[in-house]
Amino acid sequence: DLVDVAHATVLVRVDFNVPLQEGSIADDTRIRAALPTIESILERGGRVVLMSHLGRPGGKGHEPEFSLEPAATRLAELLGRPVAFPSNDCTDDDARRAVAGMADGDVVLLENLRFHPGEKKGDASFAGILVAGVDAYCNDAFGTAHRSDASMVATPTAMADRPCVAGRLLERELRYLGETIAAPERPFVAILGGAKVSDKLKTIRRLAGVVDTLVVGGAMAFTLLKAKGCAVGRSLVESDMVEEAGRMIEEVAASSTTLLLPSDFVCGAEPKAGTTTSISGTEIPDDMMGLDIGPESAERFAETVRAARTVVWNGPMGLFEVAPFDQGTRTVAEALAAATEAGGTTIVGGGDTASAVQGMGFGERVSHVSTGGGASLTMLEGGPMPAVEALDAT
């Protein structure tokens, strides 16, 4: 809102990296998340040029299965106005003519940026084509704010003479994940889950001594338990990380942070329903694998969360996509909702955790559901956010 966009063409980097099933959008959460920024520009008399990536195409030209055309169709339905999708190439003559011919209130969505190798390489010449004929740049793609892609860094760099600002979604993400974590109300609890401890090693080290309690669930807990000498059966373990996990446990123990690990599990002979058994204690039989935290652990974790004033959660507690291995994640989600209702601030990291919380109906019952899993982890780690640093200081 700080930039006068009347009669201006605003290039907006959005995150329309949505899941597709047979050419249709399976979840439009990320498109809906961009609406406040898009509508703000339109209501103030501006013209909106949107750019995004989708999936992981090879960077060698158009690949139909990664086209953003379904996103254009869905966005038009949500906005109640046409969204032009001019071409199969975000930089060709048809795309440039569509941008040059826009009138106030028009919306154009360019094709997948990653069809060009220059996007992932952060190429300045590719960025130069994208910024031709636009008056301002707006970054509203938190999900890729930790990356140095051309549309995230080279583009605002190429527009040093024009306004480059954060959109509504990016501002909200930075406020929750930045300001809240920098000055949390206590008790401050972090919950980490997911498959690999290697993905969250930096996060754990950064949070040691920062949070009051660090709760670890999901498959990553088995690498830590193995380091403690527990029997984990056929559970997922990163063997090359066991020694490092042991050192990390010692580091957390030497800090002011309490580490909570699971003490019971829901196990199966394989990761599917029908082979389920409950294991109390941390000795899992050789022929079984842990697929969810057990009821005792879930309640212990939930009790800690309900008493917290600030909670950050990144990573599910088990194989939540397959019942009954969703119960641990559900119990933690219920506790997050209770903490929110009691006046606490609760933040859910993106990716699988966001999918689980939204799918279980808790999305509206927590303070904030992030749109970016990797980006939210980077912020928790205190890592660089080059795309944010490239914007104008406000």
**Using one digit for the tens of pLDDT, what is the confidence trace for 139-185?**
999 988 889 999 999 999 999 899 999 999 999 888 888 888 888 99
Cα separation, 104 vs 45, whole angstroms: 6
pLDDT of residue 208: 93
Q: Does the pLDDT value for residue 2 go beyond 80?
A: no
Name the catalytic one among 46, 167, 194, 351.
351
Name the catalytic one among 13, 30, 114, 147.
30
96 part of the active site = no
Report which of residues 279 and 317 the model is more confident about. Answer: 317
pLDDT-based confidence at residue 199 (cuts at 50, 70, 90): confident
Report which of residues 384 and 73 the model is more confident about. Answer: 73
Cα separation, 69 vs 82, whole angstroms: 13
pLDDT-based confidence at residue 1 (cuts at 50, 70, 90): low
Name the catalytic one among 120, 196, 206, 365.
196
114 part of the active site = no
Average pLDDT over residues 367-376: 85
Using a pLDDT cut of 90, give the percent of the chain over it.
Answer: 76
30 part of the active site = yes
Name the catalytic one among 128, 374, 382, 383.
374
Using a pLDDT cut of 70, give the percent of the chain over it.
Answer: 99
110: left (phi over 0), alpha (psi -120 to 50) or beta: beta
Confirm if 130 and 51 have CB atoms less than 8 A apart.
yes
Cα separation, 139 vs 165, whole angstroms: 6
374 part of the active site = yes
Cα separation, 337 vs 18, whole angstroms: 26
**Using one digit for the tens of pLDDT, what is the confidence trace for 308-344?**
999 999 999 999 999 899 999 999 999 999 999 999 9
**Using one digit for the tens of pLDDT, what is the confidence trace for 5-39?**
999 999 999 999 998 888 889 889 889 999 999 99
Enter the tokens of residue 157: 């760099």
Cα separation, 203 vs 209, whole angstroms: 12
Amino acid letter, residue 206: R
pLDDT-based confidence at residue 219 (cuts at 50, 70, 90): very high
Which range of 295-309, 345-359, 372-386 scores highest in mean pLDDT? It is 295-309
Confirm if 325 and 352 have CB atoms less than 8 A apart.
no
pLDDT of residue 182: 84
Token pair 């903490």 is at which residue?
339
Report which of residues 364 and 381 the model is more confident about. Answer: 364
Q: Which of 37, 126, 17, 136 is nearest to 78 (CA)?
A: 37
**Using one digit for the tens of pLDDT, what is the confidence trace for 261-270?**
999 999 999 8
